[in-house]
Amino acid sequence: AQSVTQPDIHITVSEGASLELRCNYSYGATPYLFWYVQSPGQGLQLLLKYFSGDTLVQGIKGFEAEFKRSQSSFNLRKPSVHWSDAAEYFCAVGERGDYKLSFGAGTTVTVRA
Amino acid sequence: EAGVVQSPRYKIIEKKQPVAFWCNPISGHNTLYWYLQNLGQGPELLIRYENEEAVDDSQLPKDRFSAERLKGVDSTLKIQPAELGDSAVYLCASSYGENTEAFFGQGTRLTVV
């Protein structure tokens, strides 16, 4: 069975500083990988996705993520954080031929001035 | 283009009462999902529809939960009777096929008292 681990429950970062959120998954084949963001009281918004090809993917709002097969990781990064990036971030894994997504428990990002 | 629409946004009910949630997916999306999100956790799939057919309902507690998707468009998720532990956010999502991402609605926050 698939599993997704987001090791950091909560991260605090200063505005303008860089951000990296970790995501590790357990799955036998090449998965589909996603990062979603959820602001308070809102649904999930897709930041970026990896299906195949270039392992460095660019997303919206200046985010990028890199798929590293050897490490079973799909870490999310942003070079310079804005106060509006404060939210909860979820990594999700999908299986080819199956539409089901498995989500991590999420990482809450706090941005301080 | 309108996104996934859910209603109501918030619902407070007493335990043992019935409750229903409604979802209107993005036009043209044949796949519809209902997810349960407990506080501080990632979403977990309850049921997935392909058009009118429920193709994955293995995680749906069928003793009290039911769902339908008439005409392969709108969907309703029902709980009868509700229990205190059902307090959570119920998310609806839709997608238009394999290799595509799911788009989420804003969710319905249910509080059972």
- Low-confidence stretches of chain A (pLDDT < 70) are 1, 28, 97-99
How far is the alpha carbon of A70 from chain B, nearest alpha carbon, in Å?
23
Output the pLDDT for position A8: 96
Q: Alpha-carbon distance B46 to A60, whole Å?
A: 28
Integer angstrom CA distances of residue A107 from A2, A12, A36, A40, B69: 19, 10, 11, 13, 33
pLDDT score for A94: 86
Cross-chain residue pair B104–A43, CB shorter than 8 Å: yes
Decide if pLDDT at B6 tops 70.
yes
pLDDT-derived band of residue B70, with 50, 70 and 90 as boundaries?
Answer: confident
CA distance A56 to A87: 23
- Rounded to whole angstroms, the Cα distance separating A55 from A71 reads 13
pLDDT of amino acid B56: 87
Q: Is residue B1 pLDDT above 70, yes or no?
A: no
Q: What is the mean pLDDT of the segment spanning B51-76?
A: 92
Q: DSSP labels for B89-111? A: EEEEEEESSTT---EE---EEEE
Q: Can you give the pLDDT at residue A31?
A: 86
Q: Distance between CA atoms of B1 and B72, rounded to whole angstroms? A: 19
Q: DSSP assignment, residue A16?
A: T
d(CA A111, CA A37): 15
Residue contact B106–A43, C-beta within 8 A: yes
B48 touches chain A (CB under 8 A): yes
Res B99: pLDDT: 65
> Is the model more confident about B70 or about A11?
A11
How far does A106 lie from chain B, in Å, by closest CA?
6
Tokens of A109: 């990002």
Chain B residues in contact with A99 by the CB 8 A cut-off are 31, 33, 48, 56, 95, 98, 102
Query: What does DSSP assign to residue B62?
Result: T
- Mean pLDDT (chain B, rounded): 93
Q: Which residue of chain A is at minimal alpha-carbon distance from B96? A: A99
Give me the pLDDT at residue B37, please: 94
